[in-house]
């Protein structure tokens, strides 16, 4: 059988970088091959995905030697016309995928078909099939840009799948997905490979990697192992264990004291009438750590954005430290509640990491010496000290996410709210964020995190709150929420108990 994707001796150097992003990578995928790629942040996974899809150097400038061949077509020197319909690429962020100009999910999916000149009569059938594969048929008539991050990502994956290319490349497609969504993507990839397609998927999620036939492990742009998924996963997780440079959390500079949070009977409706949160009540004791979990679109982010006043309730109230926050501005609440956005690019706006991290403390009108100690502390915890002078936008998205976190940690808020903090992180990054939650917890600060990573939730949080359809359906310590008796209930909101191979549920 002829190769669908063949990469030979590929070296990619980005302008201004000393080390190559890929250094002598070779890889062959035939029809029905499903191959995983893993490795730490910066190991070259994304570059490999971009090169395999023919976007390097055509769209992203780089020096390339070696060859990439897609269905017999040289992809290094090909034009868009040569590659359209042969290879499709799925990115980890829906913003990189969606046209942002379509009224409905259905029309969004039609966009790629229009560009491939698929006859109008064939479009609806293909769109329906792609939506069914991704479990998004119920979103067909919704406006893509009003969907939750995870729902958008499913639309983004469907938008490429619908094009029906022989080669499919995916770069961390499951980063924003709930466990059920991740499983359905894993099943879909297996099915597409069975149909004769070649699939290359860069991921950390075990559900995806375990479904592949073999896995490449990248390090410093080189393939250091071409092995079974289980061994690759083991190597990936082992790499996350050596968190050598995590400093201990020193005494509070702002001398904050623990505060409680109470949400009473909160309801929030978006314009257009969609009720994202319905009558939710939730409280967190001072210093408690709470993980909010639930399927994509279950109202988690909407709930969290009420905790610092970014959204206001249609009914119900939020109390922080015993006071109703209804008439307090977002910037006044910032000293009490730190909020880390899901998309770091919604949060970064300074031209160096140091300035970015110092932005919050400066707004708190602290003296320069305190600001600089807070910045140093936050950079130390997030392992970013070496990137102090770098422009955040020159960093990988997973590191930008840590910059966004550092910017909030530096304010030492008594309550830390994080929206999908581990999204796009490699095991080392996830472990680091877990250690930060533990350290914050130890000094009596409250942490509330939205997450799809059940292992992370079970390992680092006192309480797990499960949401479905804008309501709380379970609330308790990890051991009871993830108990076998709740499996069916969890599964009704797209969740699975932690994989648990090396996770102790009882802390």
**Within positions 21 to 50, which residues make up the interface with other proteins, using CB under 8 A?**
none
What is the closest distance, in whole angstroms, from the C-beta atom of residue 276 to other proteins in the complex? 6
Question: Between residues 116 and 187, which has the closer beta carbon with respect to other proteins?
Answer: 116
Question: Between residues 255 and 506, which has the closer beta carbon with respect to other proteins?
Answer: 255
- Among 137, 210, 260, 364, the residue binding other proteins under the rule CB under 8 A is 364
What torsion do the CA atoms of 55, 57, 60, 63 make, to the nearest 10 degrees?
A: 150
From residue 489, alpha-carbon distances to 21, 49, 472 in Å are 44, 37, 12
Residues 6+ apart with CB under 8 A from 209: 36, 38, 203, 215, 229, 232, 233, 236
What is the number of helices (H) and of strands (E) in the chain?
17, 20
- Counting residues that bind other proteins (by CB under 8 A) gives 74
> How do beta strands 446-450 and 415-419 pair?
parallel
When asked if residue 89 is in the footprint of other proteins (CB under 8 A), the reply is yes
Instruction: Give me the residue label for tokens 């976007």.
Output: 55
When asked if residue 284 is in the footprint of other proteins (CB under 8 A), the reply is no
Question: Between residues 328 and 496, which has the closer beta carbon with respect to other proteins?
Answer: 328
When asked if residue 117 is in the footprint of other proteins (CB under 8 A), the reply is yes
What is the closest distance, in whole angstroms, from the C-beta atom of residue 271 to other proteins in the complex? 5
- From CA 241, how far away is CA 74, in angstroms rounded? 40
Question: Between residues 114 and 502, which has the closer beta carbon with respect to other proteins?
Answer: 114
- From CA 42, how far away is CA 235, in angstroms rounded? 16
When asked if residue 505 is in the footprint of other proteins (CB under 8 A), the reply is no
Do the Cβ atoms of 298 and 471 come closer than 8 Å?
A: no
Question: Between residues 55 and 208, which has the closer beta carbon with respect to other proteins?
Answer: 55
- Among 88, 179, 427, 494, the residue binding other proteins under the rule CB under 8 A is 88
When asked if residue 148 is in the footprint of other proteins (CB under 8 A), the reply is yes
When asked if residue 359 is in the footprint of other proteins (CB under 8 A), the reply is yes
Query: What is the per-residue binding string for other proteins in 166-185, x denoting contact by CB under 8 A?
Result: --------------------
Query: With CB under 8 A as the contact rule, which of the stretches 107-115, 189-197, 243-251, 474-482 interacts with other proteins?
Result: 107-115
- Among 26, 31, 111, 225, the residue binding other proteins under the rule CB under 8 A is 111
The beta strand positions in 56-98, using DSSP E, are 63-70, 73-74, 87-90
**Within positions 385 to 424, which residues make up the interface with other proteins, using CB under 8 A?**
393, 407-408, 411
What is the closest distance, in whole angstroms, from the C-beta atom of residue 81 to other proteins in the complex? 5
Do the Cβ atoms of 153 and 182 come closer than 8 Å?
A: no
When asked if residue 112 is in the footprint of other proteins (CB under 8 A), the reply is yes
- Among 120, 251, 322, 484, the residue binding other proteins under the rule CB under 8 A is 120
Neighbours of 141 (CB within 10 A): 10
Query: With CB under 8 A as the contact rule, which of the stretches 34-42, 67-75, 104-112, 378-386 interacts with other proteins?
Result: 104-112
- Among 28, 31, 73, 84, the residue binding other proteins under the rule CB under 8 A is 84
Question: Between residues 41 and 302, which has the closer beta carbon with respect to other proteins?
Answer: 302
Q: What are phi and psi of 112, to 5 degrees?
A: -65, -35
From residue 118, alpha-carbon distances to 108, 125, 159 in Å are 14, 11, 14
Query: What is the per-residue binding string for other proteins in 290-319, x denoting contact by CB under 8 A?
Result: -------x---xx-----x-x---------
The tokens of 504 are what? 């102790």
For the four alpha carbons of 338, 340, 341 and 346, in that order, the dihedral sign comes to positive
The helix (H) or strand (E) run that includes residue 133 is helix 120-134
SS3 293: strand
What is the closest distance, in whole angstroms, from the C-beta atom of residue 117 to other proteins in the complex? 5
Query: With CB under 8 A as the contact rule, which of the stretches 190-198, 217-225, 328-336, 420-428 interacts with other proteins?
Result: 328-336
Neighbours of 422 (CB within 10 A): 26
When asked if residue 146 is in the footprint of other proteins (CB under 8 A), the reply is yes
Residues 6+ apart with CB under 8 A from 255: none
From residue 154, alpha-carbon distances to 209, 311, 436 in Å are 18, 25, 30
When asked if residue 456 is in the footprint of other proteins (CB under 8 A), the reply is no
When asked if residue 61 is in the footprint of other proteins (CB under 8 A), the reply is no
- From CA 264, how far away is CA 275, in angstroms rounded? 16
When asked if residue 115 is in the footprint of other proteins (CB under 8 A), the reply is yes
When asked if residue 107 is in the footprint of other proteins (CB under 8 A), the reply is yes
Question: Between residues 297 and 313, which has the closer beta carbon with respect to other proteins?
Answer: 297
**Within positions 254 to 283, which residues make up the interface with other proteins, using CB under 8 A?**
270-272, 274, 276
What is the closest distance, in whole angstroms, from the C-beta atom of residue 146 to other proteins in the complex? 5
């Amino acid at each position: 059988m002829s190769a669908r994707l063949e990469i030979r001796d590929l070296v990619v150097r980005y302008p201004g970088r000393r080390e190559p992003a890929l250094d002598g990578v070779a890889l062959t995928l035939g029809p029905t091959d499903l191959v995983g790629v893993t490795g730490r942040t910066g190991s070259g996974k994304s570059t490999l995905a971009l090169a395999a899809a023919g976007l390097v150097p055509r769209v992203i400038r780089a020096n390339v030697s070696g060859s990439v061949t897609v269905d017999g077509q040289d992809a290094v020197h090909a034009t868009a016309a040569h590659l359209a319909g042969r290879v499709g690429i799925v990115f980890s962020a829906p913003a990189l995928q969606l046209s942002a100009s379509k009224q409905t999910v259905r029309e969004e999916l039609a966009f790629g078909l229009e560009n491939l000149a698929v006859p109008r009569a064939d479009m609806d059938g293909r769109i329906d099939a792609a939506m069914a594969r991704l479990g998004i048929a119920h979103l067909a008539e919704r406006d893509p840009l009003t969907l939750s991050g995870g729902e958008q990502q499913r639309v983004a994956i469907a938008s490429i799948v619908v094009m029906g290319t022989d080669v499919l490349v995916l770069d961390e497609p499951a980063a924003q997905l709930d466990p059920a969504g991740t499983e359905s993507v894993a099943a879909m990839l297996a099915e597409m490979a069975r149909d004769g397609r070649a699939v290359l998927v860069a991921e950390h999620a075990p559900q995806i990697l375990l479904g592949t036939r073999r896995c490449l492990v990248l390090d410093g742009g080189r393939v250091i192992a071409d092995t079974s998924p289980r061994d690759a996963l083991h190597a990936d997780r082992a790499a996350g264990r050596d968190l050598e440079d995590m400093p201990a959390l020193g005494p509070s500079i702002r001398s904050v004291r623990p505060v409680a949070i109470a949400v009473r009977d909160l309801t929030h409706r978006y314009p257009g009438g969609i009720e994202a949160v319905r009558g939710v009540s939730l409280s967190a004791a001072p210093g408690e750590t709470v993980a909010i979990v639930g399927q994509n679109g279950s109202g988690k982010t909407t709930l969290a954005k009420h905790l610092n006043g970014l959204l206001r309730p249609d009914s119900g109230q939020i109390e922080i430290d015993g006071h109703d926050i209804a008439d307090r501005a977002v910037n006044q609440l910032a000293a009490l509640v730190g909020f880390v956005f899901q998309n770091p690019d919604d949060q970064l706006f300074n031209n160096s990491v140091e300035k970015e991290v110092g932005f919050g403390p400066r707004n708190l009108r602290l003296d320069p010496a305190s600001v600089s100690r807070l910045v140093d502390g936050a950079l130390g915890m997030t392992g970013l000290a070496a990137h102090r002078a770098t422009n955040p936008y020159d960093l990988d998205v997973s590191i930008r996410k840590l910059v966004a976190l550092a910017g909030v940690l530096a304010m030492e808020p008594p309550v830390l709210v994080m929206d999908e903090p581990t999204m796009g992180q490699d095991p080392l990054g996830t472990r680091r964020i877990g250690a930060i939650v533990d350290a914050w917890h130890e000094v009596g600060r409250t942490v509330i995190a939205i997450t799809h990573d059940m292992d992370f939730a079970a390992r680092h949080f006192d309480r797990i709150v499960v949401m479905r359809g804008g309501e709380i359906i379970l609330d308790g310590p990890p051991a009871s929420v993830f108990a076998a008796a709740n499996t069916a209930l969890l599964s009704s909101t797209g969740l699975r108990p932690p994989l648990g191979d090396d996770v102790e549920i009882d802390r």
